[in-house]
A and B are shown apart, each in its own frame.
Chain A
């Protein structure tokens, strides 16, 4: 390790770190926003489920590099445009979360939904006030997988020039300079762990009732 390489390249490293965070977490947000209505639809209609869930499964199996290379053709973007990476990772996030959302909504006890309807909740309010909050624990589990998977996938983008910390791998490899590679690995692991811990905490804060279940007192 050439330790003083790190402070000397502080600005480069911090810039790549910020880029890495945006490229991986922006798709998590966008994916969540898209997956909730799709998952709701999949839960509501068996026909929609029969289309959406297998499609999501297939999308997730497309290798990320292929998607990064093919997307510019579909979107009409430049090959080096970061939008390609954001869109590709959004696709993966949606693919992961549609199933999570559908399963989470299906797991809401039917008695609870029936009770809400009988009390006079209209469907939209019932979704916001009852069904969605009860889906949060399963949804958070899905988000944690999506976020960590995105953080590791962003690095692949370095092969097409937009990869956040992944740049440190390609650059370090070309220069045969392990310090740079190890810095990249450690930092991406750190942000993956931190993001995961943050989501876990967020889930706990949002669902105080969930931990208490079963602890009568």
Chain B
């Protein structure tokens, strides 16, 4: 979809921002450019819509060289979300979103109708349509930025550190929202960030750049965590990469163990941990039969030991399974199905066995 062929950008002062970059951006996926400042990630992004022109090499978008033809026309077909949204302060939210359709020559009425649809898509209430950007909080301004970039339904979306200026909680929700949107829209998204966690969360593929505009590694997130190409990537990916790498390994085939369960009102067994569940088999907490002479008395709902995280067998990776085991007071992780009902237990040993098997298969790729 987007191809970089030996692309170099040298600025007039002699600095090389991007050095012989060759990579293919997959259509319909999120590709993240990540790296420290001065690594050329933003310059690379801006060469896609010709905001920056390459010194050497070729960039193809949909098979066409971006240097052929009119840059303004090219840009109208490529959505762009900038840091701090870059909204037009003198235009209402609705008119901001309607901008590119109007540039493309749509009638005002059609452009505004389309802008209304987009606002709904990104979760903006209709009352914000007539407001000016300065009247909205930062997170909502970013939503307007995304809506504006999507207004003319471009196949390609470029995002330049779009969530860097909002607080961590809002950033998380914007990231989740982007993943939800992408599952509906299947755009070819190139996303620039300096935050490796954001890259690992959003990217189908991740390009790690090092200072000087050299591509250090271009891989799926699981591979990046499991097999960093060199010390730079290893250091950049950061701490806990082994543990975080589990997040990209499927838990399919993980054996579930037996789990003793009971309901409130039943007598506590003589020894060992028992999980207390409600009528729908949802976990409430644990009782320890050997403690405080609790055995043989009836279980009360207010006397339970709180449980750890739950392992959703339908959705979670090995990381979710291991965390369930590690955070459970009994050492047995509670496995639940999509409705939240208990289906069995998972142990840390089983997760590690599964990990070893995945390594042997090379399934980490």
Residues of A within 8 A of B (CB): 109, 111-112, 114-122, 130, 133-134, 207-210, 212-217
Contacts and interface: CB of A to CB of B under 8 A. Distances in A.
B88 interface: yes
Contacts of A121: 72, 103
A42 B78 CA distance: 32
B89 A134 contact: yes
17 contacts: A111-B82, A115-B88, A118-B51, A118-B78, A118-B158, A119-B80, A119-B103, A119-B148, A120-B74, A121-B72, A134-B89, A134-B90, A212-B134, A213-B134, A215-B134, A216-B135, A216-B137
Given A118-B49, A121-B72, A209 B134 contact: yes
Contacts of B134: 209, 212-216
A38 B88 CA distance: 24
Nearest to A118: B80
B93 to A, nearest CB: 11
Most chain-B CB neighbours within 10 Å: which of A112, A117, A119, A214? A119
Interface of B: 49, 51, 72-76, 78, 80, 82-91, 99-100, 103, 132, 134-137, 148, 158
Contacts of A208: 132
B153 to A, nearest CB: 14
B72 A212 contact: no
A209 B137 CA distance: 15
A112 B96 CA distance: 11
B91 to A, nearest CB: 8
A121 B103 CA distance: 7
A109 B165 CA distance: 15
Residue of B49, B78, B90 with highest tally of chain A CB at under 10 A: B90
A12 B132 CA distance: 50
Contact of A117 (B51, B83, B91): B51
From B83, B87, B132, residue with most partner A Cβ within 10 Å: B132
Nearest to B104: A120
Contacts of A216: 134-137
A143 B87 CA distance: 27
Given A112-B87, A112-B88, 8 more contacts: A111-B84, A114-B51, A118-B80, A119-B76, A120-B75, A212-B134, A212-B135, A216-B135
B51 A215 contact: no
A190 B266 CA distance: 93
Contacts of A209: 89-91, 132, 134
A126 to B, nearest CB: 10
Contacts of A207: 90
A124 B220 CA distance: 43
A117 B75 contact: yes
Nearest to B92: A209
A116 B100 CA distance: 9
B4 to A, nearest CB: 19
B12 to A, nearest CB: 14
Contact of A112 (B78, B89, B158): B89
Contact of A213 (B49, B82, B132, B137): B132
Query: Of A109, A111, A120, A122, which is in contact with the most chain B CB atoms at under 10 Å from its CB?
Result: A120
A177 B78 CA distance: 74
B132 A118 contact: no
A111 B86 contact: yes
A114 B82 contact: yes
A118 B100 CA distance: 10
A74 B95 CA distance: 50
Contacts of B135: 212, 215-217
A214 B131 CA distance: 12
A120 B102 CA distance: 11
Contacts of B72: 120-122
Nearest to A132: B90
Q: Which 6 A-B pairs have the closest CB atoms?
A: A115-B86, A120-B76, A118-B80, A120-B75, A213-B134, A111-B86
Contacts of B87: 112, 115
A212 B132 contact: yes
Contacts of B51: 114, 117-118
A27 B326 CA distance: 80
B137 A116 contact: no
B236 to A, nearest CB: 27
Nearest to B83: A111
